[in-house]
Amino acid sequence: MCVGGGRVSLENAIGYAKQRKAFNKVIADFGLVREKIANMATLIYVGESLVYRTVALMDAALSEVDKSTADAAKQTLKAIEEYAVECSIIKVWGSEMIDYIVDETLQIYAGYGFVEEYPAERAYRDARINRIFEGTNEINRLIITGFLLKRAMSGQLPLMPAIKHLMDEVLSGPSVAEELEGPLPEERKLVGQAKKLGLFAAGAATQKYMQAIQDQQEIMGAIADMTIEGYAMETAVLRAQKIVASKGEAAASLPIAMTRVYLAQAMEKIESAARKVIAAVADGDMLRTQLAILRRLAKYEPFNTVELRQQIDSIQMEPRISLAWCRCPQPSVRRHRPGSNP
């Protein structure tokens, strides 16, 4: 629903920007408006990828249920519950994505955005409920971290061994980076760094609070934010990889550009959330040491997001090509749990 609403708002924003004039030219020619269009298109691409990937994972799990058995209903429920974390991720991410899009759409409409005769007003008003119903986003953030920690404590999720492995790695000092083969090596490397940042912050928090971390909702929320962004980053890269494999890198230029733009902004959010957690669980020399590790894990060569957004926007503005990437292949189905294969 949020992805579909985002598409409609984006198309309205593009249509209005291409006919509204200011200073003797249409506002679609203004750089800051074009940047908004590119950001909205990128979020819709990532949101669509998240939904299709997770639903495909659930479909694959449900296909293994033997419907002829007496406990078929119980098996079905268990298969669906396995993806409670991913569903909470989509609920939080999607509802906050649509809020951003309708807000930017209203900004493009300017004063007319408040007028009921224009579509921006209703979209802006209606979108707000998404962060409340189906479980508030605050509750869903606690579900994300709570489920992951619960499964880690029970041994269902190898989270604690992954954290220990990462701590051993960072304490051993810098090492030669492994060269990745195949398409999008830098993007895949960045996803790996994002996972390490999340594991590092989660490890520092669990080491201090242990079971009592359930009472630290601000920290639980920050860990959830890192999990959400890590899952979204990986999903965007998987879809871009699949498009490269099926159509070639040249045909995948738009999905690759959108993926890079999203990776850049997601890494900023993950680093900020990790810094928040570390500042809350450490002080003095320990804080300085952990911040130095954080900076090392978060270090990467930035993409030229200005140029990438210009590329995205130029394609969105072409007649009958806007949102054509919706027909791109969806991300590959993988048996992945957030935080499970760091």
Would you please indicate which residues are annotated as catalytic (active-site) residues?
Answer: 134
Contact 315, 45 (CB under 8 A): no
8 to 11, 81, 93, 123, 125: CA distances (angstroms):
5, 31, 18, 9, 15
Q: How far apart are CA 255 and CA 140, in angstroms?
A: 29
Tokens of 238: 């998987």
**How far is CA 18 from its chain centroid?**
29
Residue 80: Cβ within 10 Å count: 14
Buried b (16+ CB within 10 A) or exposed e, 298-323: beeeebebeebbebbbebbbeeeebb
Tokens of 235: 């999903």
